[in-house]
Structure 1
């Protein structure tokens, strides 16, 4: 009932604005220090709007911040996001799961340039951030909270859209450090008034350390990645575009050898090959914007045992056609709409090829007038196997004072069962989608990364029909079933201050209380308390100094809450110094105090490391 009251109240608040003049429809961003907010998000509405004009909770991390943090590891950047906790099986390249506001890592929709990149062949259909390095990443656009109204399946915890790195001219870096780690990346592009074409690439290798906390044999990782973008203005109102990305990596992994079948050193390896991309167009007039695209994504994995023989292989593939649009109807009123058809298929060493499809369409009415913005929308999806699913959502934002705003959102999310859960040896063709309803309410001053920034958000998400493995004698071991319900609620806080000329101190803190509504236990690997404090200083002569302190509380490793994971604190220090207009030298110390901790029981985490490099911009 609460969601319907929220939708109704949003419409009532918006109704008086329908009578405003056409000039009132201009989007006015949040003001901070007399400057407009340049941050544009696509995760909130699928088209693009100023962060200050959405009631959704959004964090944007751009390339300048990525460069300042240094290195290839995406998790060191993501830990600056409120509500985001992380788990990893060993070192960089090992499976890395991201949880937003206590949701399962598989309940996070991950896009690269708007293309869905999760592996359809993985059992739960999640995205492994261990395969995403920062050399080819240009920006992270992160929306927290259920938003299947705009994005369809998987957007229960939120949405992460990664933009491929692009630059005019040339930019690149090379660094070397502990554990014989090498990381090189480059990006270049050409452009004029009508076109842009860019290429980017990265190479990473490390000898690593034992993924098993009890082991001593090094588990290395190597990856090569390439990306490209093309934009061309056919006419003043018509642009065509294309993106293409490819990566190939090899990871040493530890397994569970006999006779103990406990995590220990092995010589097993995993090779992962991924490619994805899209082609499309954007057509704009004074009142209408249309964006259409065809996209595909493919992930192949091959596992090899100690003797080098293939022990498992899988291939997950998806294709999608979509059309999104926005029509400025009357005065400040906009109508956003879209439709998409997706086809997915998979095959593994033990499962025959299977495929399915899903169609979805949505519409959203928005009002953006001055410092007030509100949106209400709904969506319908039709899956080839489980039938139809409806989603609803709404948000509002209101600016007041010099640079304050209040914001609120209500969203529903769903996650379609994966092909593995539906049609594998352990599958269940009668599965229904996982569903969630979330809402949040917050207040914010200023904008992230500049001036005085303060934000406080409270949230809650209730999920049902969660898919788990049901042990049964009806077939060997059991099968997948809709067995669980869960709740997550808490508070996110952000703050940032310019303490002195060139010195800025920022931080994020999250309290996330999760509960399995069947057993009453805490959800596994979801700490209640976690946060990051980060400081940056730039001296008048160019020297840059920085520090990141990650603080994480205790959690349980398992659903039964039998195995406890201890809390930990990890400090990283970094420095950079320009030596000319084109070149900069930099370095960092990760895990300064060599903290020994685990985010997944039995798996080691990154020890102390020292790295140095050079960066060029021409």
Structure 2
């Protein structure tokens, strides 16, 4: 483990790679003001090419190699899965699908469960690290993970099966032309699984399916309508506590159903601005099926107008926006409550000289039940001689109390919380990049600091603002195109995340993590070998609830594809190649060595 992390630290190559892709052509849309990667030092982009090469099925499969991102999962195959960026608690990661917020408003902390987020219809994943409150408002203290679904021109299908009686299939069809596009996709997954509890003996199965439809039509040369609807349903066996409150095998299940979508009209050069008006909708139902069953619902509607000028390559661009967000969710009593906010924001990017790009944003959020809050962010990049680029940014973030925290759900004695304040954060980072003239080599080292104030915790019978957390760290990445067919990518992160009041390490944030990936692309054969490692991390023993340490681990995955022709590819992959026994979260089980084979079709 130590040897791998040392090697990772010295080689310095990236996890979220863009091999075979011109970096100047990769557009970061989660910035709202479209920007290239060179203009957004806090952004990492995972392309469809990487998803396909690694044969990733779910979001968790592809995010584990992003430096500064820690993933917690309550057991393999459908266990509750959360993501932390730069040490900030998982509820401080804002999750978007096509710009629609996915965070669970009915959850006590408002976090998002990544366990069933299928990647089959995803074209690109963007990770913005650090406070992004001035861009996206509440919940973006740690950063943003944004998924963009894809248009399809033609037909594609895939079928895969393997260990643990796992079957995964997908199909999609679409048509794209200059004036319109429409596509539809469906994917399904089932497995007998493994025990969620590491000390369990029974398999815990998992089933999930996702369907989506995207469409656009150009009404005129300057006016376009587009929209999307996406539905997901997941059913997972879970382990927990029996009647004697002993942790282990149970017959409990969780069932989640969600749909999300948007409708938008865009008008270019209308009253001198490129304008957009959209409505986004999100609906979630999650059921816990056990001796003590429960059911929760959440709904969100967001109206948004934006107007601006300029594209990613222009020396000056700006964007103005107004949005209204209304959220409603149920609580443990069966009653429902709501929260809402009205926001205005502005962003601008300009280049005072050709080698320098500056981006600034300012936002004011006016929540219905809390005082208004302004947040700002500024970042700059400067091209230096010999292929070097320096970058730095400073940002603020905030998070309003959730519906559960506002009404003090699960509080004793019952009654609404009083005096709760929104959580706030500020952070900075600075990085140095180097890219070779032939674009075959890339290195980036980033240092950062993130402080969260007034973090909300459950105190003696109710929610209170007590915690102050501080994370400092270093993220190092690089890539090397060794030959036209072979590339190497490695990432390393050192993260020091502590509770400032007690000095204790924050839970489920490994101090050291790293990954190494080898990519091979030939005329017919392509493949990827990915090795990732995490050091020890502070955790909580699910059997005793006492502080404990989760051991570090190293796991390797191997994937390969053989093209029979332009339409048919045979695929195969081995997960956990060395059959490592490990846990993402202490006390929860993960899979041993697993083998899958499949076929992909396209025309």
Q: TM-score, normalised by structure 1?
A: 0.89
- Cα deviation code 1:467-500 (max 9, x no counterpart): 10002xxxxxx01111100000111010111122
Q: 1:445 aligns with which of 434, 439, 452?
A: 434
- CA shift, 1:501, in A, is 3.3
**Corresponding residue number in structure 2 for 1:85:** 70
Q: CA RMSD in A?
A: 2.2
Alignment map for 1:38-49 (pairs within 5 Å): 38-44=25-31, 46-49=32-35
- CA shift, 1:63, in A, is 1.3
- CA shift, 1:530, in A, is 0.3
Secondary structure of 1:506's aligned partner:
strand
**Corresponding residue number in structure 2 for 1:304:** 289
Q: Is 1:513 equivalent to 2:502 in the alignment?
A: no
Q: 2:306 aligns with which of 313, 324, 328?
A: 324
- CA shift, 1:381, in A, is 0.8
Secondary structure of 1:421's aligned partner:
helix
In structure 2, runs of 5+ residues without a counterpart are 1-17
**Corresponding residue number in structure 1 for 2:562:** 577
Please tell me whether the aligned partners of residues 71 and 183 of structure 1 are also in contact (alpha carbons under 8 angstroms).
Answer: no
Q: Is 1:461 equivalent to 2:450 in the alignment?
A: yes
Distance in 2 (CA, whole Å) between partners of 1:36 and 1:76 is: 23
Distance in 2 (CA, whole Å) between partners of 1:428 and 1:284 is: 47
Distance in 2 (CA, whole Å) between partners of 1:464 and 1:288 is: 38
Q: Is 1:169 equivalent to 2:169 in the alignment?
A: no
Q: Is 1:251 equivalent to 2:240 in the alignment?
A: no
**Corresponding residue number in structure 1 for 2:526:** 544
Q: 2:390 aligns with which of 378, 397, 406?
A: 406
Please tell me whether the aligned partners of residues 242 and 248 of structure 2 are also in contact (alpha carbons under 8 angstroms).
Answer: yes
- Cα deviation code 1:82-133 (max 9, x no counterpart): 2111110011211111111111111001000000011110111011100212
Distance 1:561 1:398, change over 3 A: farther
**Corresponding residue number in structure 2 for 1:475:** none
Secondary structure of 1:52's aligned partner:
helix
Distance 1:36 1:126, change over 3 A: closer
Please tell me whether the aligned partners of residues 151 and 181 of structure 2 are also in contact (alpha carbons under 8 angstroms).
Answer: no
Distance in 2 (CA, whole Å) between partners of 1:123 and 1:450 is: 46
Q: TM-score, normalised by structure 2?
A: 0.91
- CA shift, 1:581, in A, is 1.0
In structure 1, runs of 5+ residues without a counterpart are 1-30, 472-477
**Corresponding residue number in structure 2 for 1:271:** 255
Secondary structure of 1:420's aligned partner:
helix
Please tell me whether the aligned partners of residues 341 and 365 of structure 2 are also in contact (alpha carbons under 8 angstroms).
Answer: yes
Q: Is 1:224 equivalent to 2:209 in the alignment?
A: yes
- Cα deviation code 1:524-567 (max 9, x no counterpart): 0100100111101134x421232000110111104998301110
Alignment map for 1:335-414 (pairs within 5 Å): 335-368=318-351, 370-401=354-385, 403-414=387-398
Distance in 2 (CA, whole Å) between partners of 1:172 and 1:360 is: 42
Distance in 1 (CA, whole Å) between partners of 2:399 and 2:554 is: 34
Secondary structure of 1:122's aligned partner:
coil
**Corresponding residue number in structure 2 for 1:50:** 36
Q: Is 1:557 equivalent to 2:539 in the alignment?
A: yes
**Corresponding residue number in structure 1 for 2:3:** none
- CA shift, 1:285, in A, is 2.4
Distance 1:344 1:336, change over 3 A: same
Distance 1:579 1:128, change over 3 A: same
- Cα deviation code 1:274-321 (max 9, x no counterpart): 001010122222963222210110110111116xxx710000111110
- CA shift, 1:146, in A, is 0.5
Secondary structure of 2:417's aligned partner:
coil
* Number of aligned positions between the proteins: 573
Secondary structure of 1:466's aligned partner:
strand
Distance 1:479 1:36, change over 3 A: closer
**Corresponding residue number in structure 2 for 1:20:** none
Distance in 1 (CA, whole Å) between partners of 2:335 and 2:19 is: 57
**Corresponding residue number in structure 1 for 2:11:** none
